[in-house]
Amino acid sequence: MRAGKMKRRITFQVSEERRGELGEVIREWRDLTTVWAEIREISGRERMTFGTVYSEATVRIWTRYRADITTANRILYRLPNVRGQVFSLLAVIPDADHSRLELICKGGISNG
């Protein structure tokens, strides 16, 4: 794997649930790790829901192999002075040598 193509920093996040004061379940995302990655756009579209336009992108991300990454995780990708993008993992595909992961992701602009 050529490290020169991995120019982007992404953060894997894991979902955690806790109980609120009234016993309600609160789901929060916690940072798991930040790694170098290569990101390639596959497709994008805009859709309108209830008068609001949403951007949605499908991307392919490559990173070094990690055994703890599954489709239950999500990815946060931020650039300086730019809103972050949150991607859900549709597929986690390790190569035969377990040296890298190919991640097929879908996501859009986040408010955070």
pLDDT in tens, 42-78: 887 777 777 777 777 899 999 999 999 999 999 999 8
- What is the separation of C-alpha 6 from the centre of its chain, rounded to a whole number of angstroms? 15
Output the pLDDT for position 110: 52
Angle in degrees, CA 43, 30, 64, rounded to 5: 55
Mean pLDDT of 99-110: 86
- Per-residue confidence band for 111, with pLDDT thresholds at 50, 70 and 90: very low
Give domain 3-109's CATH superfamily: Bacteriophage SPP1 head-tail adaptor protein (2.40.10.270)
Query: In this model, does residue 4 exceed pLDDT 90?
Result: no
Residue ranges per structural domain of the chain:
3-109
pLDDT at 3: 59
